[in-house]
């Protein structure tokens, strides 16, 4: 997927890792032409069709398409992993609607940049709702409504759990674009393979072992390709250390995962969950949930880079929560401060901004526990996978570290040593979770 000769409109930003960025703005006139064509609106007619900018994320820009009688949304994406990324998102949205999970209907799309816009695009219905994100929005939503929203989220994950797939990959329509999703898992278009070499297998994978080996061997190959034996000694030492880490992670796979065979294949549906795959909503954030004025869920949006995953990996907390526990903050401990951090006189009971951040962390912890309690009631089998898969999900964090070729601290090494000595890993990565939360605002 990654190339130093990117297509039109795409560049790679090298910094703390590598990230894609726009080099040109999409053409509004081309968007209007595409919208008129696919909405069957005559050109040069009295029927209005205007396109205006709405927002943007890491890989997409969103535009409002207003006609005389209706409003739509056009999402224009960077030319990444074409045509699979958009094809997979369209198929995933259709599949979710089949499960009665609210997702905007895709009206038209082009998964390639072979069009007058020169970018992949999707035209979808407009949903009347606002993203459930932002500090100000969060403070305006009463806790009772947030709890209701979290329970709706639990119902969504419970439905996904009961629809199982036989392989790991992404939902992609067959070449004749039949609108069906059963057994339509194809090669994975996911962030796990975002920077993978073209020769790296992308599935579909029949087992979690194949999936993990593909990711780790690709990570190792990229580490070797970046070796600089004549570079600074500190860099060379760190590259060797990272390669050693990845090799040790690879050697852990047989310790933690057993290949399926005729003796350990599940005999009943309840036993088969661990050997099956479910759709994994890895990037579900508050901003991906649209809510109405009463804070009721109206739609989930943005389903790019979604794939199926083993139950042990998919049965996890959404990104809106984290594993860390927080103490409840009290306003009297957060007086306003001057620029130098000196507390100010506070006759009106005001607080500094850190109070609201800490309150949000604490309330997210409360909502996390509500989510888990709801899942325990709705779907005991999901909870069993969540608990029993804890060590494997910890291992997956080390896979991510190998893929990023970066280790925060010594926690990953400590975890590896525990596994190699067949000792308990309970709590070993807690420090890693704290550092991630502090770094990324979790």
The secondary element (H helix, E strand) that includes residue 420 is: helix 411-420
Highest mean pLDDT among 8-22, 23-37, 182-196: 23-37
Residue 178 has pLDDT above 60, yes or no: no
pLDDT tier at 266, thresholds 50, 70, 90: very low
Residue 397 tokens, joined = 């964090």
Average pLDDT over residues 175-185: 55
Percent of the chain with pLDDT over 70: 85
DSSP for 185-253, please give it: EES--SGGGTT--TTS----BSSHHHHHHHHHHHHHHHHHHT--TTS-HHHHHHHHHHHHHHHHHHHHH
Q: With bands split at pLDDT 50, 70 and 90, how would you rate the model's confidence at 270?
A: very low
Rounded Cα–Cα distance for residues 442 and 437 (Å): 4
Q: How far is CA 344 from CA 329, 338, 354, in A?
A: 19, 6, 15
Q: CB–CB of 239/227 below 8 Å?
A: yes
Q: How many helices (H) and strands (E) does the chain have?
A: 13, 14
**pLDDT category of residue 429 using cuts at 50, 70 and 90:** confident
Q: What is the pLDDT of residue 137?
A: 61
Tens digits of residue pLDDT in 373-404:
999 999 999 999 999 999 999 999 999 999 98
Least confident of 18-32, 201-215, 226-240, 370-384: 226-240
Per-residue pLDDT tens for 115-125? 999 999 999 99
pLDDT attached to residue 247: 97
Question: Residue 179's pLDDT is what?
Answer: 47
- What is the structure's pLDDT at 258? 79
Predicted confidence (pLDDT) at residue 183 exceeds the cutoff of 90: no
Whether the predicted pLDDT of 180 surpasses 60? no
User: 28 pLDDT exceeds 90?
Assistant: yes
State the Cα–Cα distance between residues 215 and 203, nearest whole angstrom. 11
Residue 415 has pLDDT above 90, yes or no: yes
User: What distance lies between CA 219 and its chain's CA centroid?
Assistant: 20
The pLDDT value recorded for residue 12 is 87
pLDDT tens digits for range 65-117: 999 989 999 999 999 999 999 999 999 999 999 989 999 999 999 999 999 99
Kindly tell me the sign of the dihedral angle through the C-alpha atoms of 167, 170, 171, 173: negative
State pTM to two decimals: 0.86
Question: CB within 8 A of 320, min separation 6: which ones?
Answer: 284, 285, 286, 364, 367
Taking residue 138's Cβ as centre, other Cβ atoms within 10 Å add up to: 16
pLDDT, position 126 = 94
Question: Which run of H or of E encompasses 74?
Answer: strand 71-77
Q: Report helix, strand or coil for 381.
A: helix
Mean pLDDT taken over the chain: 85
Spatial separation of the C-alpha atoms in residues 225 and 231, rounded to whole Å: 14
Please state whether 187 falls in left (phi above 0), alpha (psi between -120 and 50) or beta: beta
A 10 A CB-CB count for 206 gives 13
Q: What pLDDT, on the 0 to 100 scale, is given for residue 423?
A: 93
CA distances from 325 to 358, 363, 396, 431 (A): 11, 10, 21, 12
Q: Exposed, middle or buried: residue 346 (CB in 10 Å: 0-12, 13-18, 19+)?
A: middle
Give the other-Cβ count within 10 Å of 308's Cβ.
28
Task: Please tell me the least confidently modeled range out of 125-139, 151-165, 386-400.
Answer: 125-139
* Cα–Cα distance, 218 to 308 (Å, whole number): 20
Cβ-proximal residues to 49 (8 Å cutoff; 6+ apart), any chain: 32, 35, 36, 39, 41, 65, 66, 67, 68
Please state the CATH superfamily assignment of the domain spanning residues 10-128 in this structure: Phosphorylase Kinase; domain 1 (3.30.200.20)
CA distances (Å), 294 to each of 130, 144, 146, 371, in order?
11, 11, 10, 20
What is the total residue count of the chain?
442
């Amino acid at each position: 997927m990654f190339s130093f000769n990117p297509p039109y409109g795409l560049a790679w930003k090298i910094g703390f890792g590598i990230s894609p960025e726009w080099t040109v703005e999409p053409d509004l006139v081309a968007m209007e032409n595409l919208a008129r064509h696919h909405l069957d609106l005559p050109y040069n007619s009295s029927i209005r069709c205007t396109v205006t900018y709405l927002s943007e994320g890491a890989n997409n820009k969103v535009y409002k398409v207003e006609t005389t009688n209706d409003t739509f949304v056009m999402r224009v994406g960077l030319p990444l992993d074409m045509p699979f990324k958009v094809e997979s998102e369209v198929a995933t949205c259709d599949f979710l609607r089949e499960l009665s999970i609210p997702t905007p209907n895709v009206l038209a799309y082009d998964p390639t940049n072979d069009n007058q816009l020169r970018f992949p695009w999707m035209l979808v219905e407009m949903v009347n709702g606002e993203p459930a994100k932002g500090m100000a929005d969060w403070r305006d939503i009463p806790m009772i409504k947030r709890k209701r929203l979290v329970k709706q989220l639990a119902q969504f994950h419970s439905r996904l759990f009961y629809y199982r797939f036989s392989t790991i990959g992404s939902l992609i329509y067959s070449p004749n674009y039949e609108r069906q999703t059963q057994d339509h898992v194809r090669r994975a278009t996911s962030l796990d393979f975002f920077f993978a070499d073209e020769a790296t297998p992308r599935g579909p994978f029949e087992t979690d072992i194949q999936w993990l080996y593909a990711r780790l061997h690709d990570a190792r190959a990229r580490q070797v390709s970046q070796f600089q034996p004549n570079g600074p000694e500190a860099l060379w030492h760190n590259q060797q250390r990272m390669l050693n880490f990845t090799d040790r992670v690879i050697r852990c796979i047989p310790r933690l995962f057993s290949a399926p065979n005729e003796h350990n294949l599940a005999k009943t549906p309840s036993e088969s969950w661990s050997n099956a795959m479910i759709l994994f909503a890895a990037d579900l954030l508050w901003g991906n949930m649209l809510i109405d004025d009463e804070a009721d869920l109206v739609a989930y949006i943005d389903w790019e880079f979604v794939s199926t995953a083993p139950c042990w990996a998919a049965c996890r907390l959404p990104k809106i929560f984290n594993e860390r526990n927080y103490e409840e903050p009290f306003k009297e401990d957060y007086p306003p401060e001057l620029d130098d951090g000196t507390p100010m006189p506070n006759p009106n009971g005001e607080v500094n901004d850190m109070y609201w951040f800490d309150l949000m962390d604490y309330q997210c912890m409360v909502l996390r526990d509500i989510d888990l309690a709801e899942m325990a009631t709705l779907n005991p089998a999901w909870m069993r996978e969540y608990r029993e898969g804890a060590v494997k999900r910890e291992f997956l964090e080390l896979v991510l570290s190998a893929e990023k070729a970066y280790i925060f601290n010594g926690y990953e090494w400590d975890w590896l040593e525990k596994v190699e000595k067949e000792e308990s890993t309970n709590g070993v990565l807690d420090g890693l979770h704290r550092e991630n939360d502090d770094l990324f605002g979790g």
